[in-house]
């Protein structure tokens, strides 16, 4: 980090020294316009536009800055249609998650400058690994449904396409600091050289973010950087981008037990143990620790006025672990030699373990764009490889004989090759009518070799998970868009997406059982858009039909893991409505609402354990439930934004309503998250000064009506005790009224 700070300071002085000498002449200005248009090609082939038959929302840099006081990216996108954000720590800082149309983050494709960002094995997206990345974004596009073909994991309900900052023609500097409730503090420094006479430009950002969290001990300590170096010519752009983050967060991912939550909403059980005197303690280093560094090299070439090429090479390095105190663990499960106390060989001990990830992800993407007045053709794809090691260490154990902390109790390696190629053609065969064909072929080969962290009693060894699988997917998409005039658009589309199982889908099953199969989504959408100077409206209808969707069954494997299975039939259908109105010169309103129905057909809850009154296991039973609701899929999601502009002061009232949602697939009201309605107020004041561009003061009051709510939950264990259903539930309570305040100096 010291080297990065040095680079930032050098760039800062460079920015100041060149600020008087880099005013472009007319020719340079013209070239700058061309290079700006050229650099946007990094995402042109993946993004939807005004001709696309796709439901989407593009969030601008200005909108991001309006709310970027320290919360994670899901909270900055939370007011887009059908979007639900979640937070382990209760504040939107640290570990956060999201769902779109009820689809979880593991099924939502995320790219940065066209480069895949989802973890190739888990398919998850961990924004905690790049804190304050929003400060380096120029825009984010959220496509709902299958959307357009993209790189990386399948878009199985939505995709998020992030574009980092483009060329800043003028030298600049920016210093920002935020403070808030729960000792939250974010500091950011940004500098840029502007476009120099030799065609080069440099930009850099450094950030650190700390918070105690709302949930007990849910603190975070995170750092990140962003650095670009670009060469911009009339027909060529070569741009190096690197960004990364280091996060250390106290674990809060178990939630709060529903009974404890009645008296203590912030209780965190993780890290708890009893010392030798029997006193309750909490382990100081019950933490998640991860460092991720991303490198991208973009080459953009203007071949002629119609033909443009973009090739990107990328490499991501990830290394980290989570550490935890575990009580009463069997020696044999960790390969430890037990001690003998008072002549008796011990079977269990307390210990501290670390579970590690060490992974490399690399490859390249490419896109060739040919565009005329009536035709837009994009040909592209990607070739990527993931190589990741999973291993565990015991770094301390009570009463263990000859513990060697360099020993590993399990190790496995996962290798995944992912290649795709696509062709997109959008043409205007008849005036005002646009037809789109989008064809993608994707090949995946995935293999695992070694053991995981579960002990197999039958083999008296760690469980062997060695296996491999391969998939070949064809994902066609077709759309029609009719634009009778500049203000209106009607569209309809038909798309198919296929998705491979993730690592957990393989490892959670017994190797004697059938492999999980791939899933298929058929997405039919239709919509209408109207855009005028003072009023806008949009309506999107969708029907998403799933075949072999992987969902939790409630069944446990022989080692105690919850199993997923392929469900033959399920669907999501709904309507998304968005409105915007400029009510007066100083008042405008934007809002959206999603009404949906999300169902599994012929669902069976399998293998629910049954105990007698003395907690002796009797049997297990299956419950035939027929048509049920898909978990985490509220029927209603609504958002509202009132914005008031008065001279130099802006006021915004953000309102978010999320309806009742079940957290398993049984539609049982005992296992549901209550609906919630949360309001946040933003106040921003801009002070112009002679020697600076501006000083911005901003205040964000979250949950101004002190709503007590939870936005996520899960079932720890559900069973029958003496013929009565018992649900051990965990919820994630969110903070009551809290604030974030920031000061930003731009020069």
pLDDT at 401: 75
**pLDDT tens digits, 563-572:** 567 788 999 9
Contact 694, 686 (CB under 8 A): yes
* Alpha-carbon gap, residue 576 to 637, rounded angstroms: 9
Q: For tokens 């905690």, what's the residue?
A: 128
- The domain limits of the chain are 2-746
> What is the Rg, in whole angstroms, of the alpha carbon atoms belonging to the chain?
27
Give 401's contacts (C-beta < 8 A, 6+ positions apart): 336, 337, 338, 339
Alpha helices in 346-407 (DSSP H): none
> pTM value?
0.92
Report pLDDT for 212. Answer: 98
Sites in the chain below the pLDDT cut of 50: 1-39, 554, 556-561
Q: State the SS3 of 329-378.
A: EEHHHHCCEECEECCEECCEEEEEEEEEEEEEEEEEEEEEEEECCCEEEE
By the 8 A CB rule, do 635 and 596 touch?
Answer: yes
- Rounded to an integer, what distance in angstroms lies between the CA atom of residue 402 and that of residue 408? 14
The predicted pLDDT at position 174 comes to 95
Q: Please name the helix (run of DSSP H) or strand (run of DSSP E) that holds residue 265, with its range, or none.
A: none
What dihedral angle (degrees, nearest 10) is formed by the CA atoms of 399, 404, 410, 413?
A: 160
pLDDT in tens, 640-657: 999 999 988 999 999 999
DSSP state of 269: -
Phi, psi of 17 (to 5 degrees): -70, -30
Structure tokens of 728? 């051990």
Token pair of 11 as six digits: 């760039």
What's the pLDDT at 406?
86
Model confidence pLDDT, tens digit, residues 650-704? 999 999 999 999 999 999 999 999 999 999 999 999 988 876 678 999 999 999 9
DSSP 682-726: EEEEEEEETTEEEEEEEEEEESTT----EEEEEEEEEEEETTEEE
In the CATH scheme, what is the code of domain 2-746?
A: 2.40.170.20
Residue whose token pair is 């039939």: 569
Whether the CB-CB separation of 622 and 604 falls below 8 Å is answered with yes
Question: Where are the strands (E) in 372-432, listed by range?
Answer: 375-397, 400-401, 408-430
The pLDDT value recorded for residue 40 is 52
């Amino acid at each position: 980090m010291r080297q990065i700070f040095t680079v930032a300071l050098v760039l800062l002085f460079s920015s100041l020294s060149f600020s008087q000498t880099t005013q472009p002449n007319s020719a340079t200005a013209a070239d700058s316009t061309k290079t700006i248009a050229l650099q946007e090609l990094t995402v042109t082939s993946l993004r939807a536009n005004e001709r696309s038959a796709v439901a989407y929302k593009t969030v601008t840099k200005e909108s991001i800055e309006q709310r970027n006081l320290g919360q994670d990216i899901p909270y900055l996108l939370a007011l887009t249609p059908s979007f639900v954000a979640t937070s382990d720590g209760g504040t939107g800082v640290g570990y956060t998650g999201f769902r779109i149309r009820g689809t979880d983050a593991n099924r939502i494709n995320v790219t940065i400058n066209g480069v895949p960002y989802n973890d190739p094995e888990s398919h998850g997206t961990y924004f905690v690994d790049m804190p304050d990345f929003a400060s380096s974004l120029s825009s984010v596009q959220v496509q709902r449904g299958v959307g357009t073909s993209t790189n990386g994991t399948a878009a199985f309900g939505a995709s998020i396409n992030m574009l980092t900052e483009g060329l800043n023609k003028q030298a600049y500097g920016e210093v920002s600091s935020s403070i808030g409730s729960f000792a939250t503090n974010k500091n950011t420094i940004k500098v840029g050289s502007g476009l120099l006479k030799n065609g080069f430009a440099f930009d850099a950002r450094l950030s650190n973010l700390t918070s105690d969290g709302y949930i007990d001990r849910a603190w975070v300590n995170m750092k990140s950087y962003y650095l670009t170096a670009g060469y911009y010519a009339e027909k060529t752009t070569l741009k190096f981008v690197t960004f990364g983050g280091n996060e250390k967060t106290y674990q809060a991912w178990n939630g709060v037990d529903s009974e404890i939550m009645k008296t203590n909403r912030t209780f965190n059980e993780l890290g708890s143990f009893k010392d030798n005197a029997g006193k309750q303690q909490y382990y100081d280093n019950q933490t998640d620790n991860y460092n991720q560094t991303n490198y991208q090299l973009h080459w953009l070439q203007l071949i002629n006025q119609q033909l443009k090429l973009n090739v990107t090479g990328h490499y991501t390095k990830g290394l980290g672990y989570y550490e935890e105190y575990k009580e009463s663990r069997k020696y044999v499960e960790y390969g430890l030699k037990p001690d003998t106390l008072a002549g008796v060989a011990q079977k269990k001990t307390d210990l501290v373990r670390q579970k590690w990830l060490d992974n490399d992800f690399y490859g390249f993407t490419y896109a060739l764009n040919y565009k005329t007045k009536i035709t837009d053709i994009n040909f592209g794809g990607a070739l990527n490889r993931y190589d990741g090691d999973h291993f565990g260490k015991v770094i301390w154990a009570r009463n263990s004989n000859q513990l060697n902390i360099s020993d590993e109790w399990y190790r496995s390696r996962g290798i995944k090759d992912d290649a795709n190629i696509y062709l997109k053609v959008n043409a205007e065969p008849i005036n005002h009518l646009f037809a789109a064909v989008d064809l993608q072929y994707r090949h995946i080969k995935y293999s695992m070799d070694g053991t995981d962290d579960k002990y197999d009693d039958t083999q008296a060894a760690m469980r062997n998970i060695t296996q491999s699988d391969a998939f070949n997917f064809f994902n066609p998409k077709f759309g029609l868009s009719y634009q009778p005039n500049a203000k209106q658009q009607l569209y309809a589309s038909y798309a198919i997406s296929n998705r491979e199982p993730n690592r957990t889908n393989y490892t959670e099953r017994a190797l004697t059982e059938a492999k999980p199969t791939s899933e298929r989504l058929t997405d039919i959408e239709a919509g209408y858009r109207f855009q005028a100077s003072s009023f806008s409206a949009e309506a999107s209808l969708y029907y998403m039909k799933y075949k072999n969707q992987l969902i939790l069954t409630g069944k446990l494997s022989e080692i105690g893991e919850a199993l997923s299975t392929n469900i033959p039939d399920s669907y999501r259908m709904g309507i998304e409505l968005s409105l915007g109105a400029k009510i007066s010169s100083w008042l405008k309103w934007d809002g959206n609402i999603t009404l949906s129905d999300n169902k599994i057909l012929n669902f069976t809850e399998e293998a629910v354990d049954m105990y007698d009154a003395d907690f002796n296991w009797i049997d297990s039973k299956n419950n035939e439930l027929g048509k049920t609701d898909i978990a985490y899929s509220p029927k209603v999601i609504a958002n509202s934004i009132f914005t008031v502009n008065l001279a130099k002061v802006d006021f915004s009232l953000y309102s978010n309503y999320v309806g009742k949602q079940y957290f398993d697939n049984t539609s049982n009201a005992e296992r549901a998250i209550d609906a919630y309605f949360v309001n946040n107020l933003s106040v921003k004041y801009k002070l112009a000064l002679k020697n600076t561009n501006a000083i911005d003061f901003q205040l964000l009051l979250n949950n101004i009506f002190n709503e007590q709510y939870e936005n996520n939950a899960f079932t720890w264990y559900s069973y029958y005790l003496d013929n009565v259903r018992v649900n051990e539930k965990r919820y994630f309570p969110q903070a009551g009224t809290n604030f974030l305040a920031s000061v930003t100096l731009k020069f």
